[in-house]
Amino acid sequence: MRTVRRSQLREIVPLSDTTIYEMEQRGEFPRRFNLTPRCVVWDLGEVEAWIQERRNASFSGSIELAPGPDVRSRKTRPVK
């Protein structure tokens, strides 16, 4: 098993620390574990499997995209 630390994970997965933490709490991202009291790591195999799963879901269209912003409801410079 190969592990990655937070800095390496950020290079692999372009998400913020907060987003990764929230996804872990919801069970949508592989869980981190402690190697030592001050060293947190992720299993590289689990992270790569998660990326592949997301890729497959994206190609099959099962990931719902977020709606675009409604520019007409902006408070400053609304579009008519």
The pLDDT, as a whole number, for residue 42 is 98
The pLDDT, as a whole number, for residue 80 is 67
Do 36 and 5 form a contact (C-beta atoms < 8 A)? no
The pLDDT, as a whole number, for residue 65 is 79
The pLDDT, as a whole number, for residue 60 is 87
What residues form DSSP beta bridges with 3?
43
Q: Which tokens belong to 76? A: 């400053």
The pLDDT, as a whole number, for residue 63 is 80
The pLDDT, as a whole number, for residue 71 is 78
The pLDDT, as a whole number, for residue 73 is 80
Q: Which parts of the chain register pLDDT below 70?
A: 78, 80
| SS3 (DSSP) at 34 | strand
The pLDDT, as a whole number, for residue 25 is 96
